[in-house]
Chain A
């Protein structure tokens, strides 16, 4: 219970950021960049092992944007000229220009490499079909629905290949899922096509959420676990779950990835106890709110350290008899979830 993990991305060390920029200008070759990506992956696996993270990630040292990475490797996509994201931030948005295809596995070799470095389970990390569609232009498919379902087939093949390679946890992120309430059903249907029949534990991470929209449908997401950001909303999200029986596992984001401040172990312990009044311990996984890639490597490491220490202490308290605080509502009186 209270297994620790992280959401996916970890910051790139300075040498790798520099190398990526050189590679773009053609100043170093692909092999040299690959060598540095592998070095950074090794370092992050070692750090996670040392900290005692239960389910580790490869840290996505070889990825830029979570959608563009897949668009670059799938067929049928091309890159656009710059479009603005906000302020003075721009990015190249993928354009679907033909039938989308997966010529070969995209993430499997990296997953194998990461898993070869550790005995702990490494999560397979994928971006969900709805998010890939929503964050791309579409010039080929007649509708957003058609594009989403076509992409779902590719993500499914990738998930199956990861499972075949031995991945026990498959995370399929859908941060765009709350963007258009009228398309939530489509997002659920597409995610269902990805996860159908998979034996690995499946989970999805959702953030930037308009919770009024997604909340009532969370229990219908076709995954075993839903991972949400709790810390940056001061654990107010707990109120939504209070008094209800949430039928899935819950990934509990307990440190804010947008703030430089390192949370104290005590405050995370206190928040975990609050959460345990709402969820059962065996239902809860503990992690940061979101990918840590925007923090410095030092900040990311410190935040993960706090996650592990807090989870460990609460686990010990639960096992060694500190009476578990009961939810105030008796189980039989709980409203069914919906």
Chain B
């Protein structure tokens, strides 16, 4: 039973570190690109250290440079332009909607350099995280293909190329985030088809993670995808637990069981109950536990407290907490 995080981490810890000042200064041209990069690296070092100190087994770089899940890729792929603000699923948080004007092309690796830096700064394995092709397509406006399927499949090809490059750079665990699955009407068949394209030829451990949504109706198909691990948010919609039981867990499960959208700190007992709920569905050696989504919705103090609590719950569960 391993602990992990979904992806992003607060970029601001008041009194400790922050990207607010460096970005504002860079926008006013008071910092050079290189100076901003150094600021990002420093915050990345800190958030990796924090995850390690909390005891998280599989960490991420915290996506410190990322404005949102799709922005870095949209910026790195020609054919996209980034547009106005749209709501980030059912949160009071906003992202900039990419618009595709012409056939998308990836000229060079987008996240590989950042990955190398993070891996070098960490003493534990660093998971590489990418937006899933279906979510990327649904969150964008497509003025080129004008049909979801070819658009999602084209993005899947690009993401696959990026994932292969990340693997070559040493990423042994690659995750695709698919929050669009289960949020609103979902073409599950297309989502899985595109996901399988994105996962093609990868040799390491691969994961698909869905959060915010209701996954009944999607889980059975996800269990048949090429991913090794399926991540399920059982906090946003508790009915997802029953859906898991119905779908049969045939892969490793990443249980999103800590609420990363509310500051209320879970007790160890509550977390043990959530672990127990999947005890009969998947053996412990195929179970990851994590927050239900990225930690960035939380203020820094609460994000850190929740990770520490999760690790504590796993530790006491292993040592006879059952």
Q: Does B95 contact A (CB under 8 A)?
A: yes
Distance (whole angstroms) from the CB of A80 to the closest CB of chain B: 5
CA distance A85 to B95 in the complex (A): 9
CB-CB nearest in chain B for A176: B92
Interface of A toward B, CB cutoff 8 Å: 80-88, 90, 93, 95, 134-135, 137-139, 176, 179-180, 208, 210
CA distance A103 to B111 in the complex (A): 52
Contact: B264 with A179, CB < 8 Å?
A: no
Q: Does B297 contact A (CB under 8 A)?
A: yes
CB-CB nearest in chain B for A80: B299
Contact: B92 with A179, CB < 8 Å?
A: yes
A-B contact list, 30 entries, CB within 8 Å: A80-B302, A81-B300, A81-B301, A82-B299, A83-B10, A83-B297, A83-B298, A84-B10, A84-B11, A84-B93, A84-B296, A85-B92, A86-B68, A86-B85, A86-B94, A86-B95, A87-B96, A88-B19, A88-B20, A88-B23, A88-B27, A134-B92, A137-B263, A137-B264, A138-B264, A139-B264, A176-B92, A179-B92, A180-B90, A210-B87
Number of interface residues of B (CB under 8 A): 31
CA distance A84 to B297 in the complex (A): 7
Q: Does B262 contact A (CB under 8 A)?
A: yes
CA distance A17 to B297 in the complex (A): 28
- Contact partners of B296 in chain A: CB under 8 A: 83-84
Partner of B67, one of A83, A86, A137, A180: A86
Interface of B toward A, CB cutoff 8 Å: 10-12, 14, 19-20, 23-24, 27, 67-68, 85, 87-88, 90-96, 262-264, 296-302
Distance (whole angstroms) from the CB of A210 to the closest CB of chain B: 8
Q: Which of B11, B88, B299, B302 has the most CB of A within 10 A?
A: B299
CB-CB nearest in chain A for B88: A86
Distance (whole angstroms) from the CB of B220 to the closest CB of chain A: 22
Contact: B93 with A82, CB < 8 Å?
A: no
- Contact partners of B68 in chain A: CB under 8 A: 86
Task: Given A88-B24, A139-B263, A179-B87, verify A82-B95 contact (CB < 8 Å).
Answer: no
Partner of B20, one of A90, A137, A179: A90
CB-CB nearest in chain B for A178: B87
- Contact partners of B93 in chain A: CB under 8 A: 84-86
CA distance A208 to B117 in the complex (A): 39
CA distance A82 to B300 in the complex (A): 8
Distance (whole angstroms) from the CB of B172 to the closest CB of chain A: 30
CB-CB nearest in chain A for B298: A83
- Contact partners of A137 in chain B: CB under 8 A: 262-264
CA distance A273 to B249 in the complex (A): 59
- Contact partners of A88 in chain B: CB under 8 A: 19-20, 23-24, 27
Contact: A82 with B12, CB < 8 Å?
A: yes
- Contact partners of B92 in chain A: CB under 8 A: 85, 134-135, 176, 179
Closest 9 CB pairs of A and B: A81-B299, A86-B94, A139-B264, A137-B263, A88-B23, A80-B299, A180-B90, A179-B90, A82-B12
Contact: A90 with B263, CB < 8 Å?
A: no
Contact: A81 with B87, CB < 8 Å?
A: no
CA distance A85 to B96 in the complex (A): 12
- Contact partners of B91 in chain A: CB under 8 A: 179
- Contact partners of B94 in chain A: CB under 8 A: 85-86
- Contact partners of B10 in chain A: CB under 8 A: 83-84
CB-CB nearest in chain B for A93: B299
Distance (whole angstroms) from the CB of B186 to the closest CB of chain A: 14
CB-CB nearest in chain B for A67: B92
